[in-house]
Every structure is written in C-alpha cells, then in structure tokens.
Chain A
C-alpha cells in the first residue's frame, strides 16, 4: 500500500534518513522503532510532505506522492497525529472534528454563507460523522470543551478523532503513547486495533513502548542513524542483535 523506495533526507551534513526502503501492506499496523535521533519522525514528515526527500520516491498504491504538496496529502487519504498534539486549541472538540472534514466539502461561498440546500445537508452529514467518531472514542463528555483546556491524554484522543474524520486509508501516528499513563496506553492499544480492524485503516506508527508494539503491531521496522536495521515481527525485531546493539550500544 505504501512504498518507501531508497528515501534519503539530509539536514546540512547530517543524513537523517539514508537510503531507506520498505513496504507497508494494506491492513498492517506497521511500527517504526529506533533510538533517539534514528530518523523515525523524519520518515513520517517525509510521508506527510513536511520535508522534501533528497533522493528516493514515496508511493501510495499507484500514486507517486514524493512531490505533492503537504495539503494534498490529506486528499490522498493519509491522516497524521503528532507526538506533541497539534490541535486547533481555541476550538471545541466538535469543531476540531468538523474542520477536519474540510476536504469533503462540495459547496461554494454563496451556499455556505446563505446556509441553504446542499450546505445544510452537508453540515448535517459532517455532524453525523463527527458524532460517530465521538462515540467510537468515547469523547461524549468533552464534545463542547475547548481542546486547549483538556488533559493531554484526551487531546491525544481528539487528535486521533480528527484524523479519522478525514476518512483516511492510512494513518501516520508519531509516538501515540508518549505522555500517556499506563491505563491510557492500554486504552490506546484498543483504539488502534479498532481503527485498524473495524475502519480498515492501515497504520504506520513511530513508537517507543515495546509492550504496546508487541500487543498491536503486525510488523516492525527498526532503524538507527537513518538506516534500516531490520524488518519483522515484534518478537523477531526485539531479539535482533543489531537492534540490541543500537539500543544498548553493546
């Protein structure tokens, strides 16, 4: 479904990603691991088109997305969450979920301002989608709360909800469990499995929590210094000598 072909990305003299190639299959929960500075988030930023690749190509099924604009990524069916949560902080949870459906709008300026016909039906449809996501992630009690005032764990969920409102086929998650307590991480594992299985969304996640990875990931890619170390099941990767060396330095 997603192919990274010989991806290279440098910042000055530092190669953050170096000739990285791998394939993510449809239905995968694909995890990327590696020590700090390995280039994991850079890979996600390349997929999100926040960074330009120096070399290599990115393919989403039959589309070459290596050079599309960052705003066109969502239209291709790729959604994204961030390690430090990037929400519209002055808006409510519901408004965040409604804004996320921006790419599905089919109305024009006049019908939107007059709020008639198509605009009204469209708004109802968007609201239904938002309510469905609110139900799925159990966000009912936070529906009208301003996101900037919510606890970090809830904001992480809202960000996942916003990503789902895009109706994506691929979800990129950057360290979804960082900043969460053990109970929240446990719940997160369930959400990830539900999103993958019930909504048929392929997931690529950068993660440090090996117990979460062991529970949900179907395949794991380990990298260090921008280069691929190995790809395999969580157990295979965890016991791989190069991975142990990269983490422990021995």
Chain B
C-alpha cells in the first residue's frame, strides 16, 4: 500500500507539470483558436532562465523564481506583439505552423546559448526527503504539487474576480462582442500570451530540480501535455490540470506495475493509450466547455 501511495504521489507530481503545460495550451487555444506547439519549449526556456538567474544571483532560489516569472511574462508578451500580432486574421493552420517553427527556433537558440548538456540547479529542498514510517517522498515532488495548487488557486481568483481575467474570458468567447464593450482585444491577447508563458515558466522552475534543463526538455513534455489538454476537454483549465494528473499517475503506475511484467516500456506511451480511450468513449473530453459553432 505504501508503494502504491508513493507511486500515486510521484504520479501526481509529474502530472502537475503536464497539467501546467496543458493549461498553457488551453489558454492560448481559447483566446486565439490556435494550438501553441511551442508551449513545451517555453517550459524549457523557463527552466534555463531559472538556472541562469540562480547562478547570477549566487544561488538565491526565491529571487531566481521571481526573475524567471517576470522574464517569461515579458517573453510571452513580446512573442505575441512581435510575431503573432502580425498573423491576426490569417488561417489558424498558418499560425499553428508558426508555433511549430517557433519551437524549433527556441530549441536551437537555447542550444546555442546554454549548450546541449543538462544543467541542474540547487534549491533549498533539492535533496530533502519526507520520511513517514516506510514511506519516503522527495520534497521536490511536494513542492511541485503545492506550487501547482497555489498557482491554480491564484488563476481561479484571477479569472473570477479581476477585470483583466474577466476580459480574457470575454475575448476567448467572442472578439467582436469584446470590442463592442470596449475591451482592448489585442492587448488582452498579448496578456494572455504573457500569462501562458508565465505558467510555462512556473512549470520550468518546478521541473528543473527533477529533470535539469536541456534544449529538448520541452519536446516530449509538450506532446504529453497536449494529450492531457485533449483528455481534459481542450477548453477547460481544470480539465487540462485533471488530464495532466491522470496521465502522470497512469505513467507512474504502468512504469512500476506493468513494464516489468511485459518487459516492455508501456509507460512511455500510456498517455497516448489514455488519449485514444478517452477519444473513443468521451470525444468531448472529461470537462466539456467548448461549444459547437453555429453556421
């Protein structure tokens, strides 16, 4: 039972990261109807920023976190302003191709700046473990879980109460109507990109003590998070988080219980099996918030 709980918590921890990246996917998709395939690479940049700021600030973890979040927000805002603002009104498929291209560029640039070797970062909790009888859990996993929980609560309050959160929701539902009630749609879209990049940055910060930072970090992560977003319904932030958690737990469980039996890495593609099953039995995803378009 202890092993099961330990695996479950590890799965939740991994799932939180998938969930955060999936929330980034959903945010951009709801506002612009474009899937940002560079979302995983933004996580990679967040991880590298955290490592770099930590080095510059002599290992001051918390200041590095603040600087990383700010840098990622600026980066997201800038990417929309410089790149995606020019593509407004273009077919979604063209914009989608640009997001794939952006991912390639970000990986290449990260390789040029930071090299291709994994870079780790020391945190106040790097090697700490929580012991409870036979039960051992790395504190870094708990930090990921609580970090995600805190961010989710902040996002909930932000979208429910703040003017900018409400305008983001309004823009995601109807840009014409948003213009008519005086919402500066273009600025709100830029802020949505900033928020999405910030969430990716937080995911990077939480991930770097576990996986280190390297240019390909976001590639597989992005694909699995994309699956998580679809499992969750691709229109709902709680759904995206739930999809991420499901995939994280499933991976950990299959890695421990099924891989040794089959002598085969089922855990590597368990996320996609879950995706196929969900699409077969509930194509709209776990939480439905998307609407059919009336023509």
Residues of B within 8 A of A86 (CB): 174, 176-177, 180
Is A102 a contact partner of B161 (Cβ separation < 8 A)?
no
How many A-B residue pairs lie within 8 Å, measured between CB atoms? Answer: 75
- Known A102-B163, A109-B164, A113-B157: A71·B174 in contact at CB below 8 Å: no
Interface SS of B by simple majority: helix
Is A99 a contact partner of B181 (Cβ separation < 8 A)?
yes
Chain A nearest CB: distance from B115 CB in Å? 39
* Chain B residue at minimal CB-CB distance from A76: B182
Partner of B163 from the list A50, A72, A87, A107 (CB cut-off 8 Å) is A107
* Chain A residue at minimal CB-CB distance from B162: A112
Q: Which of B168-184 contact A (CB under 8 A)?
A: 169-170, 173-174, 176-184
- Asked if A54 is at the interface (CB within 8 A of a chain B CB), the reply is no
Partner of A113 from the list B158, B173, B180 (CB cut-off 8 Å) is B158
Is A90 a contact partner of B291 (Cβ separation < 8 A)?
yes
Partner of B174 from the list A89, A105, A109 (CB cut-off 8 Å) is A89
Residues of B within 8 A of A93 (CB): none
Within the assembled complex, what's the spacing in Å between the Cα atoms of A102 and B163? Answer: 7
Which residue of A74, A89, A113 has the most chain B CB atoms within 10 A of its CB atom?
A: A113
- Known A89-B291, A112-B162: A102·B173 in contact at CB below 8 Å: no
C-beta contact mask, B164-207 vs A, less than 8 Å → 1, else 0?
Answer: 10110110011011111111110000000000000000000000
- Asked if A196 is at the interface (CB within 8 A of a chain B CB), the reply is no
Interface size bracket, A side: 20 to 34
- Asked if A136 is at the interface (CB within 8 A of a chain B CB), the reply is no
Is B173 a contact partner of A89 (Cβ separation < 8 A)?
yes
Is B166 a contact partner of A71 (Cβ separation < 8 A)?
no
Is B161 a contact partner of A90 (Cβ separation < 8 A)?
no
Chain B nearest CB: distance from A69 CB in Å? 7
Within the assembled complex, what's the spacing in Å between the Cα atoms of A2 and B173? Answer: 31
* Chain B residue at minimal CB-CB distance from A108: B163
Residues of A within 8 A of B157 (CB): 113
Within the assembled complex, what's the spacing in Å between the Cα atoms of A89 and B172? Answer: 11
Residues of B within 8 A of A90 (CB): 173, 289, 291
- Known A105-B163, A107-B163, A148-B291: A80·B173 in contact at CB below 8 Å: no
Is A102 a contact partner of B166 (Cβ separation < 8 A)?
yes
Is B173 a contact partner of A91 (Cβ separation < 8 A)?
yes
Within the assembled complex, what's the spacing in Å between the Cα atoms of A112 and B157? Answer: 9
Is A74 a contact partner of B163 (Cβ separation < 8 A)?
no
Within the assembled complex, what's the spacing in Å between the Cα atoms of A88 and B181? Answer: 11
Chain B nearest CB: distance from A103 CB in Å? 4
C-beta contact mask, A146-172 vs B, less than 8 Å → 1, else 0?
Answer: 001000000000000011001000000
* Chain B residue at minimal CB-CB distance from A82: B176
Within the assembled complex, what's the spacing in Å between the Cα atoms of A235 and B177? Answer: 35
Q: Which of B242-295 contact A (CB under 8 A)?
A: 289, 291
Partner of A115 from the list B161, B170, B173, B291 (CB cut-off 8 Å) is B161
- Asked if A133 is at the interface (CB within 8 A of a chain B CB), the reply is no
Partner of A99 from the list B164, B166, B179, B291 (CB cut-off 8 Å) is B166
Within the assembled complex, what's the spacing in Å between the Cα atoms of A79 and B182? Answer: 9
Chain A nearest CB: distance from B51 CB in Å? 30
Is A71 a contact partner of B162 (Cβ separation < 8 A)?
no
25 pairs from A and B in contact (CB 8 Å cutoff): A70-B185, A71-B178, A71-B183, A71-B185, A72-B182, A73-B180, A73-B182, A74-B182, A75-B182, A86-B174, A86-B177, A87-B174, A88-B170, A88-B174, A90-B173, A90-B291, A91-B173, A99-B166, A102-B163, A102-B170, A103-B182, A109-B162, A148-B291, A162-B181, A163-B180
